[in-house]
Amino acid sequence: MTRSFLPSRLFSVPHSDAALAAAQVRALSRQVPVLLLTLSVNALALAYTHHGIAPDWLTLPPIFVMLAIALMRAVVWMRTLRRPVEGEAAFRRLRGTNLSAAVFGTGFSIWAVLLTRYGDVATQMQVLFFLTITMLICLTCLLHLSSAAATVGVVAVPVTLYFVSSGEVLLIVVALNFAGVISVMIFLQMMGYRDFVRLTSLIAENRDLAHTDPLTGLPNRRSFFSKLEQTIAEAGPAGTSFAVGLIDLDGFKPVNDSFGHGAGDEVLIEVGERLDAIMSGIGWVARLGGDEFGVVVEGEHDLDVIGRRICASLRQPYALREVTAQIGASVGFARFPCAAATAAMLVERADHALYHAKDCHRGTAICFAPEHEAQLRSHAVIEQALRSADLETEFSLVYQPIVDVAEDRVDAYEALARWTSPTIGTVSPGDFIVVAERSGLILDVTRALLRRALADMATWPAEVRLSFNLSAHDIASSACRADIMEIVRQSGIAPGRIIFELTETGLMRDLVDGRDALTELKALGVGLALDDFGTGYSSLSYVHKLPITKLKIDRSFVTNICEDTASLNVIRAIIDLCRNLGFDCVVEGVETVEQMLLLRSAGCRFMQGYLLQKPLPRDEIEALGGSRLPVASKPVRQLQPAIA
């Protein structure tokens, strides 16, 4: 038992650390050829000095054999310089090196000792010198091989005993000196190897840290793109397919803001665990940053099924230490090579699909399709036209009244942007606003249109207000907010006559920053409205935290109120909420008399929609005198006595 343990301990290659094995092979690929070259020169010198003294069979054949073996091993290691060896191949290479080092070292030593039988003390001293140099070179060049010290030690002990037993005082002294020097070098080699192992481990840890998200333990953004590039490189020549998915959490910001960053971190950790479980066996997942995750689905799996699994899993409640949180997720997929053939384009198309999911089908998964490609190209054309547009001449505004049905008058006009480009014609606001936001051009558009709207309302009666839409991008920085406030001050319009509308979904991306931005705007004296209320993650827990003065109920609740009692009940609840919090409440999308009657019976006072009036240009507003109801609002006057 003991006899088998010692060799295995000294000469084995641990199979537990692939990174260390690869690092050892990389280091040895540079050092072993130098070792073999030096040993070959020394062997030639020793054979030359003993030629004619020792028999030819002991000088010529051994040196030719050793030189041939050294040349073959050197060629093998030189190839490793060009083609790095990793994984199981690295372990095999180290095991082979262990064996060849032991055989080569033993053979050299036996050959040298046999040569000492011929010649005088001087030639014997030369052999001992040769052995000393050989072992020192071995220990130096095999610093990164754990068995080098054991190999040299096993060879050095019998050599020392052999020369000590010669009876020659000079040889005995030199042999003992040889043993001492070799012992010190063995110790230094062992220390150097330990330092190499620690350094390799530290480098591996740092590499892991550089490619791992510290919170979730998943691969990070850098690792995601690195592995994606590798996947593309392997899939392209093989003709295989895979898909890239981007996942964005819906409603995560309110959790973070309401319950604290600790709770948010717990949610992110569990999201990572749920995604990792879903992707097990079919791909892998990474955290790209914030509340965004990326997945790679290997092979031809059904993306609709995987997308539904992801969305359903992430919708499940999160049992935190003190509270239970609930969020959702939207997913965008892009398949290789159908959607794109590069990592950047795949991610861009997956991001476009994700944007489409969040904008049209929040909480679902969408795969990039040909129609999305057409939309991308259309948006690219719009962006180019927008970058070269003359905002003062190409853009215009129309105004849709917000009607006070209790007093039968116009309370405010909402400014709506219109764009007619000389190169691409009329562009829908639903298209150019999206492009402007994603390209960063929205700030220039907002400034130009706000100046135009404030100039137009200079002729309106003092009791009529302006409702103007701001993008979340418009209030994202203090510099942008400062520009908006300065435009208001320079207009000469009383700030109290201005209402800035912001969408609920835009504010929910960062509730804390959004609240601070709104507070700064409100200090100017303007009103603030939360637009499209009910389309996002509406929550009574955050509405009262925002410094808003008005809620606008999205038109989606109005469409079916005549048939759907639940929609009407939701509207009643929101109206009651506004009344209790002191907000005004506007219902959008009123298109029939029946809808208006039901809303009026529910306590709604302010309405907007085509039943009351479609958007009007500035000239028609001035012709009406600003506050008078247009002709299209006759149903309000006719029905007013019946609903008073």
Catalytic residues: 588
Asked whether 474 and 480 are in contact (CB, 8 A), the reply is: yes
Long-range pairs, 62-70, Cβ under 8 A, ≥24? 62/111, 66/39, 66/40, 66/104, 66/107, 66/108, 66/111, 67/40, 67/43, 69/104, 70/36, 70/37, 70/39, 70/40
- 486 phi, psi to nearest 5 deg: -70, -40
Distance CA 541, CA 547 (A): 14
Closest CA to 111 of 39, 47, 40: 47
As a whole number of angstroms, the longest Cα–Cα distance in the chain is 135
Asked whether 464 and 457 are in contact (CB, 8 A), the reply is: yes
**Cis omega (within 30 of 0) for bond into 337:** yes
What interhelical angle do 18-50 and 121-141 show, nearest 10?
Answer: 160
CA 501 to chain centre: 32
DSSP letter for 212, please: B
Return all residues near 475 (Cβ < 8 A) that are at least 6 apart: 481, 484, 502, 514, 517, 518, 521
Distance CA 352, CA 355 (A): 5
CA 107 to chain centre: 56
Distance CA 124, CA 119 (A): 7
DSSP letter for 542, please: H
What interhelical angle do 121-141 and 169-210 show, nearest 10?
Answer: 10
Closest CA to 523 of 552, 488, 490, 474: 488
Say if strands 283-289 and 242-250 run parallel, antiparallel, or are unpaired: unpaired
Asked whether 87 and 15 are in contact (CB, 8 A), the reply is: no
Beta strand ranges found along 209-304 (DSSP E): 242-250, 283-289, 292-298
What interhelical angle do 511-522 and 478-491 show, nearest 10?
Answer: 20
Return all residues near 532 (Cβ < 8 A) that are at least 6 apart: 503, 504, 505, 552, 554
